[in-house]
């Protein structure tokens, strides 16, 4: 059997915003909230693919490369806690149409290519904490980060020396 990789499509968060979020998180949450996600690992998943072999990866990247849609502005201005998955996240109060369209297309392509997408609806989020405590006091509203999303990427999830790291393998521009 050939080797597989753990893959997902996601939006990158600009490095300057990753740093601002880290700073804000340190001010807003106590350290015992959970396991903080490293700045470079902050991202927004569009479609999770799971363990994928090279043939399927090729098929998925060919389809991704055919996507033609304009970029969009994304604002992170919401936060939440999912006790079951023990995740604390940042999200958006108003998901832009372009974001929903892109995720929906990638998820449909993934499903058709043999990467089941499950039944839960897409909830765009950026995971901030993992293994969160059962009770988390969420920050007061008023925070907001906004940027122009101009591309999306295929990421590989690696587990090295006891740490998870995400590596962008390929990027596609959002242009019509
Ligand atoms: P999470 O941050 O909510 O855990 C890499 O693991 C990325 O893929 C993360 O953004 C993670 O979402 C997402 N992910 C992992 N397993 C998943 C699954 N079974 N379904 C959907 N997304 C998943």
CA of 17 to the centre of ligand 1 (A): 21
CA of 96 to the centre of ligand 1 (A): 21
Count of domains for the chain:
1
Instruction: Return the pLDDT at 102.
Output: 98
Predicted confidence (pLDDT) per residue in 9-58, tens digit: 999 999 999 999 999 999 999 999 999 999 999 999 999 999 999 999 99
Instruction: Return the pLDDT at 1.
Output: 55
Instruction: Return the pLDDT at 99.
Output: 98
- Confidence at 176, pLDDT banded by 50, 70, 90: confident
Nearest atom in ligand 1 to the alpha carbon of residue 155 is 5
Q: What is the CA radius of gyration of the chain?
A: 16
Residue bearing the CA closest to ligand 1, atom 21 = 48
Q: Known catalytic residue: 43?
A: yes
d(CA 169, CA 153): 7
CATH number where 105 lies: 3.90.1140.10
Give the burial class of 120: count Cβ atoms within 10 A of its Cβ; 0-12 exposed, 13-18 middle, 19 or more buried: exposed
The structure tokens listed for 94 are 């108003």
* Closest by Cα among 148, 105, 175 to 12: 148
Predicted confidence (pLDDT) per residue in 75-100, tens digit: 999 999 999 999 999 999 999 999 99
* Average pLDDT taken over every residue of the chain: 97
Q: What is the ipTM of this complex?
A: 0.91
* Domain housing 111: 4-173
């Amino acid at each position: 059997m050939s080797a597989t990789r753990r893959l997902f499509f996601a939006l990158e968060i600009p490095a300057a915003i990753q740093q601002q979020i880290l700073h804000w998180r340190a001010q807003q949450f106590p350290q015992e909230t959970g396991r903080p996600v490293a700045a470079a690992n902050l991202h927004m998943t569009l479609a999770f693919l799971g363990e994928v072999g090279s043939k399927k990866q090729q098929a998925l990247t060919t389809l991704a490369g055919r996507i033609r849609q304009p970029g969009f502005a994304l604002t992170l201005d919401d936060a939440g806690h999912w006790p079951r998955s023990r995740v604390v996240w940042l999200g958006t109060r108003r998901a832009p149409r372009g974001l929903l369209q892109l995720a929906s297309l990638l998820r449909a392509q993934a499903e058709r290519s043999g990467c089941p997408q499950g039944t839960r609806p897409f909830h765009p989020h950026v995971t901030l904490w993992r293994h969160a405590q059962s009770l988390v006091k969420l920050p007061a509203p008023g925070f907001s980060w906004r940027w122009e999303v101009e591309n999306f990427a295929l990421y590989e999830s690696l587990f090295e020396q006891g740490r998870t790291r995400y590596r962008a393998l390929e990027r596609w521009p959002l242009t019509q």
